[in-house]
A and B are shown apart, each in its own frame.
Chain A
């Protein structure tokens, strides 16, 4: 093991490798900050160019891009309420209110350090707990995944907003939207309205952009600037450093969120889009001031950002140990592994121990490179909030149209974005939370596939969803989640009175 580790360190600290990591991180941050241009897109773009590289160089470059892109998606989330990808959807909840309150610098600082530390913690966990974590992740079969998806949705519906029923309506609306394409097991077309673009999947990136960015434009146009008053704002590095300090002073939140990110990332099919919500909810429920979450609580940003970057490490667990990608990006990396002749699976660490360890170690270096680069550019990024909205709104509109179009190249997806922009506006006017809808659309395909496979496995017997200890515990948690808040509001006055 020592020999493998030493050889891996030697490999990673070569100047050429360090340069590749830095370039990968910078490219990843830039690409990730373009709304709709996710880590998966960026890593996929590199795949053809990586064929001429050494296998380990190609994979280290991809890991660096992955780390950079995962952070990059937080930048538009913080500054213009537009998550670069679903991984930063929970970041907007507290980061954008912080920006509107004149503290974009601190929000950026928190997101930088929480991302970096989350990524490093995940890399440490990955280095030492690769095998045990893989076995925990695979305790989750199809029935467990279905109930876990419902639990995720229920807890988000309860945690976001004041009205559980409105949250659940938004969540189930999202699940129904996600169930519009063809049946995943029989390919039977369902509600596609005759559009072939809807046959395969409902594109969730245009939906996320529509709900957050387009609906925000309708509000933003009525203001002079994102941040109305710049009198008390600090546009130097000092607020970014204040964000660093806040992150360091939240070790519990940081460790817990990074742990959640690593574990959720290790569960195939989930990933950063789910992990950031779970961490945010856990941070909110364990806070002494839960009401301030969603209104600009810095701890919400710590939770979301630490977890979504920790997913990069977690998602490598099933990819490396079992050959099953934990996320879209690691699916592309899996293709790269196979392309370069590295067969993932239990033998990977025996046959390619140095290479696998070098990939994990490169995550440390990539996160350090991220810290330096993101800190350097933060001072300049913050100034976006002072631009007049008469410039910003048309510019954001053009960028969102490109983002919606970029993923699949369909104008149809741009229409989806516009429709969900209007839906998002109506929902926000009447206090229907957007997050459960987003999560419903993201979790929908996971939940439906798990439901259908579970039913197939059991010969159409729904009792399979109550058959294991994990499912029973999850059902109890769902019940508690939904019942607890109304029960608490009825019981508390009795005791108070």
Chain B
């Protein structure tokens, strides 16, 4: 158990779910790799299959060890208690994760500047900053700097939103 997890109420089901997440991701990537490349010329696969073989050996031994340890430990809490406690501890982190995913989706639909404005305001509000002047000020300063440095000076072509003006002209923001 890591120091980051000490505050979460532990149950056997939760331990299995959380501790095996990364090892299973490794195994999953290996399996998907092998099935997607099966039948390709051997020369292209010698190296990755060698890597997969070593990764499997290491991961399976770790999974077995973790399962054995979970089996031997007596847990008091139920899975639902663990999940509730996990949400209490990490709710702000979950907001940031969800906000990040929504942000990337928004970038492709409403453009970088508008998406950044929405996500910055939402995250600042969710993380406890309720002073509208501060929220607006910080967001405006950051986005103005980003616009000048990255779009105007460096010339980075970040996704932008076309806005149709009344006269028929289009402005990209």
- A residues neighboring B (CB under 8 Å): 45, 165-166, 168-169, 172-173, 175-177, 179-180, 183, 185-186, 188, 190-191, 214, 217-219, 221-222, 388-391, 393-395, 397-399, 401-402, 405-406, 409, 411, 414-415, 418, 421-423, 425-432, 447-448, 451-452, 455
B residues near A399, Cβ cutoff 8 Å:
146
Asked if B93 is an interface residue, CB under 8 A from chain A, the answer is: yes
Kindly report which residue of chain B lies nearest to residue A448, judged by CB atoms.
Answer: B47
| B contact residues, total (Cβ < 8 Å) | 66
Q: Is B18 an interface residue (CB 8 A)?
A: yes
* Contacts A169-B23, A176-B55, A390-B124; A188 near B4 (Cβ below 8 A): no
Minimum Cβ distance to chain A for residue B81 (Å):
18
List residues of chain A with CB within 8 A of the CB of B158.
402, 405
Give the CA-CA distance A302 to B119 in the complex, in Å. 38
Known interface pairs A217-B96, A421-B100. Does A427 touch B146 (Cβ–Cβ under 8 Å)? Answer: no
8 A/B residue pairs, CB under 8 Å, sorted by A: A169-B62, A188-B44, A219-B4, A221-B93, A222-B93, A397-B100, A401-B104, A452-B47
Expressed in whole angstroms, the Cα–Cα distance for A183 and B99 within the complex equals 36
The answer to whether A183 and B30 touch (CB under 8 A), given A406-B156, A429-B2, is no
Give CA–CA (A180, B18) in the complex, Å.
Answer: 26
Residues of chain A with a CB closer than 8 A to B22's CB = 169, 423, 426-427, 430, 432
B43 contacts A390, CB within 8 Å?
no
**Which listed residue (B62, B90, B146) contacts A398, Cβ 8 A?**
B146
Closest chain B CB from A346 CB (angstroms) = 34
In B10-63, the 8 Å CB interface with A consists of: 18-19, 21-23, 25-26, 29-30, 32-33, 36-37, 40-41, 43-48, 51-52, 54-55, 58-59, 61-62
> B47–A221 contact, CB under 8 A?
no
Chain A residues whose CB sits within 8 angstroms of the CB of B19 once the complex forms: 430
Which of B25, B33, B108 interacts with A180 by CB under 8 Å? B33
Chain B residue at smallest Cβ distance from A427 = B22
* CA A448 to CA B2, docked complex, whole Å: 34
Task: Give the most central of A168, A218, A415, A432: most B CB within 10 Å.
Answer: A218
User: Please, which residues of chain A bring their CB within 8 A of the CB of B46?
Assistant: 451-452, 455
With A173-B55, A176-B48 as known contacts, state yes or no: A426 contacts B104, CB within 8 Å.
no
Are B97 and A422 neighbours in the complex by a CB distance under 8 Å? yes
Tell me the nearest residue of chain A to B2, going by C-beta.
A431
On whether the beta carbons of B47 and A423 are closer than 8 Å, the reply is: no
**Partner among A190, A395, A414 whose Cβ is within 8 Å of the Cβ of B142:** A395
Shortest distance in angstroms between A55's beta carbon and chain B's nearest beta carbon? 26
Which of B43, B47, B100 contacts A214 (CB under 8 A)? B100
* A455 closest partner in B (C-beta): B46
**B128 interface hit (Cβ, 8 Å):** yes
Contact indicator A172/B55 (Cβ below 8 Å) = yes
How far in angstroms is the closest Cβ of chain B from A389?
7
A137–B113 Cα distance when bound, in Å, is 47
Q: What 0/1 readout, one digit per residue, does chain B (50-88) give for beta carbons within 8 Å of chain A?
A: 011011001101100000000000000000000000000
B97 contact set on A, CB distance < 8 A: 218, 421-422, 425
- Report the Cα distance A92→B156, complex, angstroms: 27
Q: How far is the CB of A446 from chain B (nearest CB, A)?
A: 12
A425 touches B93 (CB 8 A): yes
Residue B152 lies at the interface, judged by CB distance under 8 Å to chain A: no
Chain A residues with CB below 8 A from B41, complex form:
186, 188
Roughly how many angstroms separate A218 CA and B89 CA in the complex, as a whole number? 11
Q: Are A390 and B47 in contact (CB under 8 A)?
A: no
B123 at the interface (CB under 8 A from A): yes
Contact partners of B18 in chain A: CB under 8 A: 426, 429-430
Contacts of A418 in B (CB 8 A): 100-101, 104
Please give me the residue from chain A that is nearest to B138 by CB atom: A391
Contact B37 A190 (CB under 8 A): yes
Residues 130-144 of chain B, each 1 if its beta carbon lies under 8 Å from chain A, else 0: 000010001100110
CB B21 to nearest CB in A, in angstroms, measures: 5
Given the known inter-chain contacts A169-B59, A394-B123, A426-B22, please indicate yes or no for A401 contacting B103, CB distance below 8 A.
yes
Nearest 4 A/B pairs, CB to CB: A183-B44, A218-B93, A390-B127, A394-B120
Q: Which residues of A contact B36 (CB under 8 A)?
A: 190-191
Selected from A183, A398, A411, A455, the residue in CB contact (under 8 A) with B159 is: A411
Closest to A405 in B: B158
Interface string of B94-115 (1 = CB under 8 A from A): 0111011101100110001000
Which chain A residue has the least Cβ–Cβ distance from B33? Answer: A191
B58 and A172 within 8 A (CB): yes
CB distance from A381 to the nearest CB of B (A): 16
Cβ of B170 under 8 Å from chain A: no
Q: Are A179 and B159 in contact (CB under 8 A)?
A: no
CA distance A405 to B108 in the complex (A): 12
Interchain nearest-CB distance for B60 vs A (Å): 10
CA gap between A94 and B25 in the complex, in Å:
28
CB distance from A211 to the nearest CB of B (A): 12
- CB contacts (< 8 Å) of A402 on chain B: these are 146, 150, 156, 158
Q: Are B58 and A169 in contact (CB under 8 A)?
A: yes
Q: Which of A388, A401, A430 contacts B107 (CB 8 A)?
A: A401
Residue of A222, A394, A427 ringed by the most chain B CB atoms within 10 A: A394
Contact A428 B2 (CB under 8 A): yes
User: In the complex, A186→B52 CA distance in Å?
Assistant: 20
